[in-house]
Amino acid sequence: MKSLTRKRVLITGGAGFLGSNLADRMIAAGHDVLVADNFFTGTKDNILHLLDNPHFELIRHNITFPLYVEVDEIFNLACPASPIHYQFDPVQTTKTSVHGAINMLGLAKRVKAKILQASTSEVYGDPEVHPQVESYWGRVNCTGIRSCYDEGKRCAETLFFDYWRQYKLRIKVIRIFNTYGPRMHPNDGRVVSNFIVQALQNQDITLYGSGNQTRSFCYCDDLIEGMIRMMDSEDDFIGPVNIGNPGEFTIRELAEKVIAMTGSKSKIVYQPLPQDDPKQRRPDISLAKEKLDWQPTINLDEGLKRTIAYFDQLLTQRNSN
């Protein structure tokens, strides 16, 4: 028996950066949280503080295999998100997105749960439309080194929509744009964590290409708020909906900001642009504003301040061990 307001929530990938931040929010809101994670990129450290909570449960599980649990809502976040990690075992990456989606959709169908897919701006590939709107179909290479992630996520979206059409499943699809914040993996090569970790150690900051390529950066608390609003929205709004921060910065601007905010002695060094790296990225969030009454509230300076404080503490702890 469950209370009227307490939901049983499954978060796949809940030991990762976004999943663990979401788990905190759901526990704070009074729900029962079950995290399923195979710890490929996630870590127990991210959820250590929740392990003694009687409303929190953790299972080591790879979502490419079926899972049988009774839940009301499923947030499907399991999937390595950084190029270094998703290119480490590309076949497994596609399996996680595709087999994982099939297993989680099958579970949702069996227990009549609502299910949200953490999709990505990468479904737009290297876009010809700027900023990116949800109606844009994207420009994705299906045979390149990023394809395991991009095409895996695209196929997962297809599966979600087919389960909705075929079985009337209650689905929600969000397309997440670059998000950063505390609990990012310090060595996964994502641009914000990379720059901060390099700057805090006074190491050279590596810029790929000219540094003129743009990205928009969303602070994790804003992103999680958007994700929860999407899950709680009316059943007839299924997405896909962009969730991200439309503030656009060049990668060089970001590097300079991080150097200034950390007071670092780091120098900027340039390396060739990796294959299929998108040149610009910015979400059009009109749909999220209209349907979810959502927009980011934390600007880049404030978000960077909090993230720098997190990595500073992490590196200090590591150095003292």
Sole binder of ligand NAD in the list 94, 103, 147, 179 (CB under 6 A) = 179
Instruction: Please name which of 203, 89, 84 lies closest in space to residue 148, comparing C-alpha atoms.
Output: 89
Q: Any catalytic annotation for residue 219?
A: no
Sole binder of ligand NAD in the list 8, 9, 11, 17 (CB under 6 A) = 17
Query: Considering only residues 255-314, where is the footprint of ligand NAD by CB under 6 A?
Result: none
* Positive/negative CA dihedral, 123, 126, 128, 133: positive
Sequence-distant (6+) residues with CB within 8 A of 196 are 258, 262, 304, 307, 308, 311
Q: How far is the CB of 252 from ligand NAD (least distance, A)?
A: 20
Catalytic residue among 86, 124, 149, 163: 149
Over the window 57 to 86, marking each residue x when it contacts ligand NAD by CB under 6 A and - when it does not, the resulting string is: -----xxx------------xxxxx-----
Total of residues contacting ligand NAD (CB under 6 A): 29
Sole binder of ligand NAD in the list 26, 33, 42, 224 (CB under 6 A) = 42
Measured from the Cβ of residue 242, the count of other Cβ atoms closer than 10 Å reads 25
Strand partners, 130: none
Measured from the Cβ of residue 123, the count of other Cβ atoms closer than 10 Å reads 23
- Residue nearer to ligand NAD on the CB measure, 264 or 308: 308
159 conformational bin, left if phi > 0, alpha if psi -120 to 50, beta if neither: alpha
- Residue nearer to ligand NAD on the CB measure, 32 or 37: 37
Over the window 117 to 146, marking each residue x when it contacts ligand NAD by CB under 6 A and - when it does not, the resulting string is: -x-x--------------------------
Using rule CB under 6 A, residue 181 touches ligand NAD? no
Instruction: Please name which of 82, 101, 11 lies closest in space to residue 50, comparing C-alpha atoms.
Output: 11
Supply the DSSP string of 229-273, one letter for each residue: HHHHS-TT----EEES---EEEHHHHHHHHHHHHT----EEEEPP
- Binding residues (CB under 6 A) for ligand NAD: these are 12-13, 15-19, 37-42, 62-64, 77-81, 96, 100, 118, 120, 176, 178-179, 185
